[in-house]
Amino acid sequence: MTLPGVVEIVGEGSKPRSFHTLVSVLGGGNVAVLSGAGLSTESGIPDYRGPSGQARRAGQPMTYQAFTGSAAARQRYWARSHLGWRHITGAAPNAGHRAVALLERAGLVDAVITQNVDGLHQAAGGAAVTELHGSLHRVVCLGCWQRSAREELDARLLAANPGWAGAAGAAEPAVNPDGDVALEETSEFVVVDCASCGGVLKPDVVFFGENVPRPRVSSCFDVVSAASALVVLGSSLTVLSGLRYVRHAASRPIPVVIVNQGATRGDALATATLDAPLGPALTAAVRELGLPADG
């Protein structure tokens, strides 16, 4: 059922059957959550596709092949990401993140698999979180494979590029869903290498054209197999990395409930679908379950 707004969810009128299915599934416990970019839009981080399903990223995303094969591509990426990082690190969890964390604390959600790289599930208090595509909060060296905090790299980039961020960011470039910005002139930006071995530094995220590590993929399949239900939150399931878990659940069969604004690639496999804003929908579900809603 498509909702024109949130009134049908949070108001006094009748609620859609799919909402009651969501509440029933969550109330049964042992739920695995698969979350996508749509869960973070209420925190000010844009998603890849609007409700129409149309891609809305400005420019082409960086690929693993381009990043590893070209110093100029790395310079362009880090210049753009250096500006975008200020937006990502300034984002706060929204009502949807807080509701998922509350459901986890209540023992109803056992695990969260997130396609997001923003760390907002953990910032909301989530503990059982697997970051399917990694995290922008970490950096990995492609030479020695040492991982470090993004804050350390940010400080080094600021020192290597004094005044650059302020000048380059004066026009308030649009932030992309993957944390970089639409910025054309990057030739003056200075990239720094691994402080330990001098190797190439890369954000600890899975780029387009790069595979999710097999142990992580396998672990997430195990999470879904062990669940009584899979609830998808804010993902269009356009890419296989998330869709495969919906297919896996449906094949067992494990009930699948999808909450998203707009159609998804997994709708035909779902037990129920709810087209609604994530924060209000999840807050209403928590309230319906008698839990003390936070925000």
Distance of CA 62 to the CA centre of its chain: 17
Token pair 């097999």 in the structure block, residue: 214
Within 10 angstroms of residue 197's Cβ, the number of other Cβ atoms is 13
Active-site pick, 87, 133, 137, 248: 133
Cβ(258)–Cβ(232) below 8 Å: yes
**Rounded Cα gap, residues 38 and 48, in angstroms:** 8
Tell how far CA 263 is from the center of its chain.
18
133 is catalytic: yes
Catalytic residues: 133
